[in-house]
A and B are shown apart, each in its own frame.
Chain A
Amino acid sequence: MSSYEETGVLTPEYLKSVLPPEERMEKGPAVIIECIEKIPCDPCAYICKLGAIKKESLVDPPKVDYDKCTGCGECVAICPGLVIFVVNLKYKGDEALLMIPYEFMPTPKRGEVYEALGREGKPVGEARIIAAREMEGRTTVVTMAVKRNLVMTVRNIGRKIR
């Protein structure tokens, strides 16, 4: 299997290393920061008012304190790497909620259904738009409902289906 360094696609092992314990995921919304490299960067730690995101130094990857994180999503748009997502497994029925940063036109609207794309940009299912909020700096945070089993796979939206 090819590595993240060769393909640009986060591998399951790396993903596992940034996920909270399963019990925490079942409790409600939680941030997932898919940042594993040593990048001199700290806006995520800066913007979190709850003190849930910590950086040991400017270059150390962020660490999340899941007792403090409420999954509010305030940090999603600030990440220059666009790798902060919020997952809420406890949405409705077999659906989970996913928040992603989005910087393309047109801005999706509530109720629209888009192709849900995985980390390789390939359609893996459908995403129903719940909300789209433009944040400071013109990044939009899109909240969507996807099938629960897809919420760790979906990371983008593609064509509008309806």
Chain B
Amino acid sequence: MEMKVDLRLWKHPILEFKRGKPLSIYVNGEKIRAYIGETIAAALYASGIKVYSQSVKYGRPRGFFCGIGKCSSCLMRVDGIPHVRTCIDLVKDGMNIEYEKGRGEPPSVSEMDVEEEKIDTDLLVVGGGPAGLSAAITAASLGVDVLVVDENPKPGGQLIKQSHKFFGSKDNYAGIRGTEIAKILLRDLRKTDAKWLLNASAIGYYEGKKHLLAVVQNNRKLIEINTDKVIVATGARENMLAFPNNDLPGIYGAGGVQTLMNVYGVKPGNDALIVGAGNVGLIVGYQLIQAGVNVKMVVEAMPKIGGYLVHAAKLRRLGVPILTRHTIKAAKGKDYVKGATIARLDENWQPIESTEEDVEVDLICLAVGLTPSSELLFQAGCKQAYIPELGGLVAIHSEDLETTLDGVYVAGDVSGIEEASTAMMEGRITGANVAMELGKERAKAEKTREESFKDLEALRAGPFSERVLKGKEKVWNLWREMR
């Protein structure tokens, strides 16, 4: 019997969700309706299934967390393959999905329908978000042979879930929603000869005659990519926060919630608590209300709101309290989150017991910062440095965004947590640099590089960029010392 629960949003004030034909998938033998284009995790969530596996040692319930293939929270066994990231794998008719218990048995290779391919290119761009797409468009339009790989089923990175209008300069997409900017970038990419692969994870860097990268597509196909230059634009992952029961399903990265809600149109919960009043927390709070979720409050440990006050003002006039100097002390629930205890912090950042308060929520969004997704760079041997202003460990890079490995560049959040608008500029700079290095349309490339640097400088002129600039200076100095 098909389950009757349907948490899909069929109406939204801003977004339209284009779903493909309905199909059936089986979860532990039970038939569930899904739609072409949905990820497994989104389809399960829409049917009310929020627990996807259990932890190996203590058997604790595991649900979804990041929604973009960066954590291991949503792994399930799919058509016999263990540890499939259900948040980025798409449903197929008749698909058989099972809860994983323990470590999971891998199928023998002979049972699997595996493929291999070799590709040669001038430039490999890893990550098809605002930075990667901008890099690819710039390089390809200057005559560079470009291949973009992205492990998500849709290109556009995190732009595709940003349903709000962007700040920035009107010449560079300000006043336009992130979802629309993603469409513009894709349209521009299609005008070039650049190629792209989706559901394709860059799993390792090897030294070859040039740069050699291993990419796995659709869990089945191994692609060897030989390339002259590499631009790593892998973005960032969301930070966790330590508190009792923080692993319960229902506690998600705020960005993960955005993916579920704004990309796949699934209502993530009924009553929400947001932890963190930076831009991400404030924006997600507003978007939750647009999706019909009751946002009970935002708690922020700092004495002041971290995000732009205009974003805070939007939430406040919807009646959502923002409690600064407050934190989440614990989450409650057994299989799924049922509530949280919040408390005020004293001058030494300790919760004040007498101020503890229980809130009934079935959704807790953690918006406590991002960490650059640098794994591939570090495995490749790029020198790294811990720069708190940039969000943690980053590959040491020059102002031109080249790492300590010749011909390997970074762009966007992986080079330091910032904004989509600055990521696009960094992407353009690296794309132009690669074209110059490869001797393509030198004059035009030089001009693009100069203009992008100027635009980047204008975007970073405000007080909100002071911290990032401080971090960037540190990284640039380290790079100079190493050269």
Contacts and interface: CB of A to CB of B under 8 A. Distances in A.
A and B bind: yes
B309 A8 contact: yes
Nearest to A119: B317
B318 A156 contact: yes
B190 interface: no
Nearest to B175: A43
Contacts of A119: 313, 316-317
A120 interface: yes
Given A6-B305, A39-B167, A78-B175, A121 B462 contact: no
Interface of A is mostly: loop
Nearest to B465: A40
A43 B170 contact: yes
Interface in B1-37: 11-14
A8 B462 contact: no
Nearest to A44: B175
B317 A155 contact: yes
Contacts of B470: none
Given A38-B462, A58-B461, A80-B174, A121 B310 contact: no
Interface in A52-102: 57-59, 78-83
Nearest to B165: A80
A137 interface: yes
A150 interface: no
B381 interface: no
B135 to A, nearest CB: 21
Interface string A106-145: 0000000000011111100000000000000111000000
B313 A104 contact: no
B212 to A, nearest CB: 39
Interface in B303-345: 303-305, 308-320, 322, 324
A8 B315 contact: yes
A41 B174 contact: yes
B309 A137 contact: no
Contacts of A4: 309
Given A59-B462, A80-B165, A80-B175, A117 B13 contact: no
B458 A58 contact: yes
Contact of A37 (B166, B169, B309, B317): B309
B290 A104 contact: yes
B47 to A, nearest CB: 24
A34 B313 contact: yes
Given A80-B165, A119-B313, A138-B13, A103 B290 contact: yes
B168 interface: yes
A interface residue count range (under 10 / 10 to 19 / 20 to 34 / 35 or more): 35 or more
Interface in A1-57: 3-10, 34-43, 46-47, 57
Interface residues of B, number: 46
A8 B313 contact: yes
Contacts of B175: 43, 46-47, 78-80, 137
B404 interface: no
Contacts of A118: 317
A43 B174 contact: yes
Nearest to B419: A40
A105 interface: yes
B310 A117 contact: no
A11 to B, nearest CB: 11
Contacts of B317: 117-121, 155-156
A16 to B, nearest CB: 16
Nearest to A6: B324
Given A80-B164, A83-B313, A117-B317, A40 B421 contact: yes
Contacts of B318: 121, 156
A116 B445 CA distance: 54
Given A58-B458, A58-B459, A80-B174, A6 B303 contact: yes
A39 B322 CA distance: 21
A105 B11 contact: yes
Contacts of B13: 103-105, 138
Contact of A5 (B177, B180, B304): B304
A158 B317 CA distance: 9
19 contacts: A7-B322, A8-B305, A34-B313, A39-B167, A40-B421, A40-B462, A40-B465, A41-B169, A42-B169, A43-B170, A57-B458, A57-B461, A59-B458, A78-B165, A81-B311, A117-B319, A137-B180, A138-B177, A139-B165
Given A40-B464, A103-B14, A137-B176, 6 more contacts: A7-B322, A9-B316, A34-B313, A78-B175, A120-B316, A155-B317
- Cβ-closest 8 pairs across A and B: A121-B319, A8-B312, A81-B310, A43-B175, A59-B462, A80-B165, A41-B167, A46-B170
